[in-house]
Amino acid sequence: MSLVKVHITMSVDGYAAGPDQSLEDPLGKGAEALHEWAFATRGWRAQHGQEGGESGVDDEQAVAWSENLGAVLMGRNMFGPVRGPWPDETWRGWWGEDPPYHTPVFVLTHHERAPLEMEGGTTFYFVTDGIESALEQAVAAADGKDITIGGGASTVQQYLRAGLVDELNLHVAPVLLGGGERLFENLDGGPTGLDLVELVASPAAAHFRYARAR
Report the chain's terminal Cα–Cα distance, integer Å. Answer: 15
**Helix orientation angle between 153-161 and 131-142, rounded to the nearest 10 degrees:** 90
Pairing of strands 15-17, 181-182: antiparallel
Least separation in angstroms between CB 157 and a copy of itself: 12
Give whichever of 97 and 198 is closer to a copy of itself, judged by the CB atom. Answer: 198
Give whichever of 81 and 174 is closer to a copy of itself, judged by the CB atom. Answer: 174
* The one among 17, 34, 204, 211 contacting a copy of itself by CB under 8 A: 204
* The one among 86, 91, 95, 208 contacting a copy of itself by CB under 8 A: 208
Least separation in angstroms between CB 209 and a copy of itself: 9
Collect all residues with Cβ–Cβ distance below 8 Å to 156 and sequence separation of at least 6.
6, 8, 16, 149, 183
Q: Does 46 bind a copy of itself (CB under 8 A)?
A: no
Question: What does 1-44 look like in DSSP terms, one character per residue?
Answer: ---EEEEEEEETTSEEE-SS--SS-TT-TTGGGGGHHHHTBHHH
Give whichever of 73 and 204 is closer to a copy of itself, judged by the CB atom. Answer: 204
How far, in Å, are 61, 140, 157, 160, 199 from residue 38 at the CA level? 8, 29, 22, 24, 17
Q: Does 13 bind a copy of itself (CB under 8 A)?
A: yes
Binding mask 170-199 for a copy of itself (x = CB under 8 A): x-x-x-x-xx--x-x--x-xxxx-x-x-xx
Least separation in angstroms between CB 143 and a copy of itself: 32
Number of residues that bind a copy of itself (CB under 8 A): 29
Give whichever of 85 and 190 is closer to a copy of itself, judged by the CB atom. Answer: 190
Q: CA nearest 101: which of 130, 127, 66, 125? A: 66
Least separation in angstroms between CB 74 and a copy of itself: 22
Least separation in angstroms between CB 154 and a copy of itself: 16
Q: Does 210 bind a copy of itself (CB under 8 A)?
A: yes
Least separation in angstroms between CB 196 and a copy of itself: 4
Binding mask 133-172 for a copy of itself (x = CB under 8 A): -------------------------------------x-x
